[in-house]
Amino acid sequence: MIIPHPLLGPRDAQEFTYMGDAALIDRPDGMAEGAAEAFDTYLHARDNPAGLHRELWYHEAGDRSWLVVTRDTRTHEITQVELARDVARARGRSQ
């Protein structure tokens, strides 16, 4: 596979490490009310789409950016790649 890195262009997948669903960005607040239930969902509930899937890839042998890659699970076609940090901020994560 080739992953088009938003800063470095197309890169061989062997430079990357895969983690999983980009929903892992949405970590619940551990001190909030109902944290136990929220973490249960965060840790265990995953969509398994036949189609577009947003997932986390780490450019381990590259610039160490975490990326959110949108990949079609049926064809491996990659339609979008973003810096995970930008995605996290857009989803309201900060400090």
Positions in the binding site for another protein (CB under 8 A): 1-2, 7-12, 14-15, 17, 19, 24-25, 27-31, 35-36, 39, 42-43, 56, 58, 60-66, 75-78, 83-85, 87-89, 93-95
Distant-in-sequence, close-in-space partners of 56: CB < 8 Å, separation ≥ 6: 18, 19, 20, 21, 22, 24, 25, 66, 67, 68, 69, 84
In the complex with another protein, the residue whose CB is nearer, 49 or 90, is 90
Rounded least distance, CB 56 to another protein, Å? 7
In the complex with another protein, the residue whose CB is nearer, 9 or 47, is 9
C-alpha atoms less than 13 angstroms from C-alpha of 25 in its C-beta half-sphere: 22
